[in-house]
Amino acid sequence: MIKKTFWKRCSRGILLVICASMTTSLARADEHVVEVLADKDSRYKIAGERTPEIVVKAGEPVLLRITARRGTTWNRDGSIHGFLLLRKKDRSKVPNWDLLLKPGTQEFHLTAPTEPGEYIVVCTVICSEEHEGMHMKFVVTP
């Protein structure tokens, strides 16, 4: 009796954990998923790419999943990196794309800019002596 009750409770708990993790890590069907590493060496990285670049369609929903690793310095609020999207032509900020990153993985549900063209991502937290080199290309296609 004890064994049966124990396994019922365990299986319910495991099922709840699995369901909870699935709902927090799944993108909506229409979202373009982009995974980025904001690394401790003050570089943005994308798996399988030597030079990281994000390409999205104008106005499409984006799930930005960023894993941040602490560099040598960080903000008082605990932010270790930033992710700011700027228009390349005039370096103006894109609304809603100014993110502060804490250690670990975070997900952001965003909408790609509606204006096709080249953009740049820059870090807004002084994360190390190499901070100025923390940027990457972001392209919006029609």
Residue type present at position 111: T
CATH topology of domain 28-141: Immunoglobulin-like (2.60.40)
Residue type present at position 108: F
Each of the 142 residues of the chain gets a pLDDT tens digit; together they read 555 554 455 444 443 333 334 445 566 888 999 999 999 999 999 999 999 999 999 999 999 999 999 988 888 999 999 999 999 999 999 999 999 999 999 999 999 999 999 999 999 999 989 989 999 999 999 9
Give the residue among 123, 120, 124, 113 at the shortest CA–CA distance from 136: 120
Give CA–CA dist 117/129, Å, rounded: 30
Give CA–CA dist 96/114, Å, rounded: 13
Q: Enumerate the domain spans of the chain.
A: 28-141
| Token couple for 110 | 């965003």
